[in-house]
A and B are shown apart, each in its own frame.
Chain A
Amino acid sequence: MLTFIEMEFLKLKRSNIFLLSLIGAILPPLLMFIAVFAFDEGHTFELLFSNVNMYMSALFAILLYAIMISYLFGREYNEHTLKTMLTIPVSRGKFLLSKYVMFLVWILILTVVTTLSTMVLGFVAGLDGFSLKLFIDSFAQLLFANVLLFLTFSPFVFISLFITNMVPAMVGGAGLALVNMMIYGQTWAPYVPWVCPYLIASGEIAEYSSSITLSYAVILATFAIGLVISYIYFTKTDVSL
């Protein structure tokens, strides 16, 4: 599996998408950095980290991850490399699993980039209240939210295998991000797979009269459904040339 991950990194060499994803990970901290100067709201490091985590995991990440998944899983179809890889030979299940793991690793990298850039921009803005504990807590919160989000993105894997073009992923990701904005604050938001990760990670779910267990169940069910249908589709259908 390590070799697969190493090779997935090699595949990203000179890749514009990887660079764009890094920019995407820096974008929420950058916008919040601008907001520090645009709005006088008594900004502190704590508020900055909190806002970045919310905008990242409840909004930007949805679009970003949809694009990443589409690229990661769809490129083998678009660049016709699947027939080359599978005839090495590579087990289809192992190949799919390595993509899932790579997606998780990519998310971890972006989480680190987001948190580090937030810290740097906070210092540049001259904010008060930084502590190592705040930094670690904020990173842990974002990481937890993003790992839960990772689980909810397995249905997108199926969509990327089925429709290999990146445009539907971009449109779908943007649409889902908007839906997230609309749903956020509704009583049933904890039961929507792409909203509840942030609510759970930030602790905001306590403000809703809902069961956190049920939210976890929704996330796990979404993951299981996406995993199973993507596995069945990938292993049972002919490789398109």
Chain B
Amino acid sequence: MVVYVIETNNLSKTYSRNKVVNSVNMHVEKGKIYGLLGKNGAGKTTTMCMLLNLTYPSGGEIFLFGKDPKRYSNEIYPKIGSIIETPGFYENLTAYENLKIIGKIRGDYNPQKIRLVLEMVNLADDKSKRFKDFSLGMKQRLGIAAAILHNPELLILDEPINGLDPFGIKEIRTLLKRLSHDFGITILISSHILSEIENLADVIGFMDNGVLIDEISRDELHDRLNKFVEFEVSDIGLALNVFKRLELRENEDYTFDNNTIRLYSHLDMRDKFNALFVKAGIDVRKVNLCEENLEEFFTRFVSNN
């Protein structure tokens, strides 16, 4: 039986007359990394804020660990670590002092644990630096340290790689994968950076204009990505004549651009098309079997929906 750590039923949020989250039915499976993908303003942050009780829903239901968080807040929320947008910490304090406040208030203050998580996010060397002097990447890393300090069962991370350099992104990606795969932590992560979600998530939720359009597993996603063969030819006119003779239809079976033709049907016959081109005196410079990337899929998917 599938166990959902996060489940929402028709979750909605309206500001004045503007419905920023519209009947979202989200299902985050235990132990999985769920990537919430959407443009800026799609409703990702508001949805996460409602899950964390920072924003009150206008309608719908939330279940965390199978329970109503309004009734079982003391039991549920200590199991969650989170980052919402840029992490906020006390600017006059160091990373250690900020984590000490969190640990003390939570009631599980442990200096060794703080040092350990600071090492995990590469902030152990900046002991005396105050938060106000942190770079954006350092702030983000401290946010992650605060989120994992108490060994949560669920991480809700809103754009956690914002401001990180490529090395930092790689480190955080590795850390999150480790937390999920080695420790079984469920992760809900939002991003507008498609490649990041593609690299990380087991399941992707596509969100646009406050609506969760679909939830697709990574395997299912690859099945649904359009595949095509790309021919780069010396004479596009002659190549198109070959396709026309075979009664292939433009825009449905193929598209073209300069000297490149993209074939979307009959992909298993690409060697035969290549032979026909050569027979017609066309030099075929490249034949690539390609797959639509997530960005192209996202654009197509959102515009279709």
Residues of A within 8 A of B (CB): 3-4, 6-7, 10-11, 13-15, 75, 79-90, 236, 238-239, 241
Contacts and interface: CB of A to CB of B under 8 A. Distances in A.
Interface residues of B, number: 33
Contact of A87 (B52, B85, B90, B93): B52
A10 B89 CA distance: 13
Nearest to B156: A87
Closest 10 CB pairs of A and B: A80-B88, A89-B77, A239-B54, A238-B55, A81-B88, A14-B92, A7-B101, A87-B82, A83-B84, A84-B88
A14 B129 CA distance: 12
A86 B56 CA distance: 13
B93 A86 contact: no
Contacts of B87: 80, 84
Nearest to A82: B88
The residue among B78, B90, B104 with the most chain A CB atoms within 10 A of its own CB is B90
Contact of A241 (B56, B74, B85, B97): B85
A90 B105 contact: yes
Given A4-B105, A13-B93, A87-B54, 17 more contacts: A10-B97, A13-B92, A81-B88, A81-B89, A81-B90, A83-B49, A83-B52, A83-B85, A84-B87, A84-B102, A84-B146, A87-B53, A87-B84, A88-B105, A89-B73, A239-B54, A241-B84
Contacts of B45: 241
26 contacts: A3-B104, A3-B107, A7-B101, A10-B93, A11-B92, A11-B93, A11-B101, A13-B93, A75-B90, A79-B88, A79-B90, A79-B91, A80-B88, A81-B90, A83-B84, A84-B102, A84-B146, A87-B52, A87-B77, A89-B74, A89-B77, A238-B49, A238-B55, A239-B49, A239-B55, A241-B84
